[in-house]
Amino acid sequence: MNKNAKIVVGVVGASGYVGGELLRYLSGHPEVEIAAMTGSSQQGQAVESLFPNLKGIVEGPLTEADYDALGRSCDLVFSSLPHGISQEPVAQLLKAGARVIDMGADFRLRDAAVYEKWYGLPHQQRDLLAEAVYGMPELHSEQIKTARLVANPGCYPTASLLALLPLKGKLTGTVIVDAKSGVSGAGRSANVGNLFTEVSENFRAYGVGTHRHTPEIEQVIEHKVVFTPHLVPMTRGILATVYASSSIEDLLPHYRNFYADHPFVKVLEDLPCTKAVAGTNFCHLTVRSSSEPGLSVIISAIDNLGKGAAGTAVHNLNLMFGLDPLTGLDRAAVYP
């Protein structure tokens, strides 16, 4: 790649919220050129009418996805296709020569049997599954740099794992992750349950004991986790309240030390809140002791579409192309 040339990227599945958020981040990234935006059902529609915030910033119609052509013309393709749908396109993109960051769940679980159990589908690309790097930069930055295929982590796993990673290998007893998410995590599909009328002034749990992000968290932390997601009447943000016992005594300095070289994870003294990280790739977290000896309460806040999806994907792009990790990701959240 020419030193002055921009990184040519494509966004597959650009009509959803993750796709739109990728376009927003990429439009503010100085080293990137968006060469293609594809959408299946929304094909032909102007991206600035789907995302009115992009008016005058990223414009043009969504096109049909020709994975071979896309893979040949792009340095990197972000695939924002639903799980179960992305395996074949990812294979084609890689074969045509592009590197790929898959935003979905298809390449996150190492064990195809676990994938099949939780997603109810056989895995069609087991070789790629073996090759894929789980794209959590706080864990695998070296492998990400050279990866052809990065499996971008799920939003809940990101919030949960950033709270748990410093305790990995030292956990004792049951870990409970009580997580709360804004509605954008459910995507942009029309659904009565996500209407404003149903969500506003309402709070509820869902997927208790059955959410598909459970095995992803357990795979990384290598410990049993009881995971309960909840729906918050807000658009963006995840706050994970994690109850964990460990052999570590003084947690705050341990967490500070652990994340000292990770620019997107800020260990606070104050309790974090989701609004302070909305629209960004930052994670705010802190730790507290509980009245139960040895049991800590770790609280982490991210933007599910940012650090939980598109922000980490851009962070991974920066790693894959040798850029400063903060490139295109250095702006503060809008507050209030």
- What is the footprint of a copy of itself within residues 41-70 (CB under 8 A)? 49, 51-58
As measured in angstroms, the least distance from the Cβ of 153 to a copy of itself is 21
Q: Give the footprint of a copy of itself on residues 93-122 (CB under 8 A).
A: none
Residue keyed to tokens 């000292």: 260
> Binding residues for a copy of itself, how many (CB under 8 A)?
87
Query: Quick one: which segment of 82-90, 132-140, 151-159, 205-213 binds a copy of itself (CB under 8 A)?
Result: 205-213
Contacts of residue 47, Cβ cutoff 8 Å, sequence gap at least 6: 14, 20, 23, 37, 54, 58, 59, 60, 61, 62
Applying CB under 8 A, among 7, 10, 12, 17 the residue interacting with a copy of itself is: 17
Query: Quick one: which segment of 5-13, 111-119, 122-130, 265-273 binds a copy of itself (CB under 8 A)?
Result: 265-273
Catalytic residue check, 155: yes
As measured in angstroms, the least distance from the Cβ of 157 to a copy of itself is 16
Q: Give the footprint of a copy of itself on residues 120-159 (CB under 8 A).
A: none
Applying CB under 8 A, among 208, 257, 260, 324 the residue interacting with a copy of itself is: 208
The Cα-based distances of 71 to 4, 6, 97 in angstroms read 21, 16, 6
CB atoms within 10 A of CB 111: 12
| Degrees, nearest 5: CA angle 322-326-329 | 125
224 to 253: interface string for a copy of itself, x by CB under 8 A: x-x-x-x-xxxxxx-x-x-x----------
Nearer CB in complex with a copy of itself: 124/210 = 210
DSSP calls for 198-261: HHTT--EE-STTT-THHHHHHHHHTS-EEEEEEE-SSSS-EEEEEEEEES-S-HHHHHHHHTTT
- Dig out the tokens for 289 from the structure: 């002791």
Evaluate the CA torsion angle 1, 281, 101, 131 in order and state its sign.
Answer: positive
Query: Quick one: which segment of 63-71, 82-90, 159-167, 266-274 binds a copy of itself (CB under 8 A)?
Result: 266-274
Active site residues: 155
